[in-house]
Structure 1
Amino acid sequence: MNKNVESINHLLRQLMLEQQRIMTADLNADSGLTPQQARALSVIHRHPGIIQRELADTFQRRSASISNLLQILQRDGYITRKVPTESERTKQIYLTPKGQAAIAGFDAYYDTVESRMVKNLSPVEQQTLIGLLEKMVGSYDPPAGALQTAGSATAKV
């Protein structure tokens, strides 16, 4: 394997693992939620009435994995699922008051964690990195429902 590619893979993985470690520890201590549960609540908050398939597409996960996540969130009182009158085959997902309370401050929290990741980079270096990463991502055919770039509605998932 090319040494540069090996270093890039290692550093990207290290960055994501460190961010995940910090988020898991902080979220669990503050709310008892996992990062994936917190992200799901944030997406549901931004898209009230989202259906399970759309959530699975957003997270690029199998529907069964999302189903398990939703069952836990519903069991713990964070979400409710409602069957719309026009379609009895799908359930729309909404936050409960407990879910609304849980997400208060999530965006600020994510901003803090994400800012930490780039605190040693100037704005110009950040833009350069974005351009380089977009080129790397562009070398793959994006799967259906792929996460969109920073300006999209699903960027913080």
Structure 2
Amino acid sequence: MSLNDGKAIELFARPGFLVRRLHQIYVAIYLQECEAFGTTPVQTSVMQVAHLNPGIDQAKLAAEIGVDRTTTSNVLARLERRALVRRESDLRDKRLRRVFLEAAGETLLAEMRGALDRAHGRLIAPLPAEEREAFTRTLRRLVEANNLHSRTSLRIL
């Protein structure tokens, strides 16, 4: 059964179901493209934020990607064991842990660039080229408008 054949069940008319299913599909594509790197999408997001914001504290990093603090801490611990990031206590506020991407993390991100581009490209490839940017804008608008309803807010730029 196709989603467009008129026989689609009620579930396929629900945006929440479709968004969740699209996320599952993206994770599968990500894992196919990035298998050699041994990372997850969340780990990659953490490394990208650490790359762009050296010394960001863990709580702010969590808000940058919309993940709770406990998950962020666990992800950072795994990345730290692989020597991809390091955490340091803040000199003025010992409760804060600052995150830095290590040289190995920088190298890994650079090596992943093509795989990440392919994963994102594969996800939207079924859309006509002229619709891809509009689709991404619409998704961003939905995320921004509904951010306050999330259990873990995303810091909107």
Q: TM-score range by the shorter chain?
A: 0.7 to 0.9
Report what 2:20 is aligned to. 13
Amino acid at match of 2:103: P
Structure 2 gap ranges (5+): 1-8
RMSD: 2.8
Provide the aligned length of Structure 1 versus Structure 2.
147
The 1:52–1:31 alpha-carbon spacing in structure 2 relative to 1, beyond 3 Å, is: same
Q: Using the alignment, how far apart are the partners of 1:118 and 1:71 within structure 2?
A: 32
Q: How do residues 70-89 of structure 1 correspond to structure 2 at under 5 angstroms?
A: 70-89=76-95
Q: How do residues 1-157 of structure 1 correspond to structure 2 at under 5 angstroms?
A: 3=10, 6-27=13-34, 29-130=35-136, 132-133=138-139, 136-137=142-143, 140=146, 142=148, 145-146=153-154, 148=156, 152=157
Instruction: Determine if contact 1:42/1:106 at 8 Å carries over to the other structure.
Output: no
Report what 2:5 is aligned to. none
The 1:131–1:73 alpha-carbon spacing in structure 2 relative to 1, beyond 3 Å, is: closer
Q: Using the alignment, how far apart are the partners of 1:120 and 1:15 within structure 2?
A: 12
Instruction: Determine if contact 2:33/2:116 at 8 Å carries over to the other structure.
Output: no
Deviation at 1:125, TM superposition (A): 2.2
Deviation at 1:45, TM superposition (A): 0.8
Amino acid at match of 1:50: I
Q: Using the alignment, how far apart are the partners of 1:141 and 1:80 within structure 2?
A: 29
Structure 1 gap ranges (5+): 153-157
Instruction: Determine if contact 2:11/2:17 at 8 Å carries over to the other structure.
Output: no
Instruction: Determine if contact 2:37/2:112 at 8 Å carries over to the other structure.
Output: no
Q: Using the alignment, how far apart are the partners of 2:144 and 2:104 within structure 1?
A: 40
Please give the per-residue CA displacement for 1:1-38, whole angstroms capped at 9, x wherever unaligned: x94873433433322211101212432x3122222212
Q: Using the alignment, how far apart are the partners of 1:134 and 1:87 within structure 2?
A: 34
Amino acid at match of 2:82: D
TM-score, normalized by length of structure 1? Answer: 0.74
Q: Using the alignment, how far apart are the partners of 1:81 and 1:139 within structure 2?
A: 33
Deviation at 1:141, TM superposition (A): 5.6
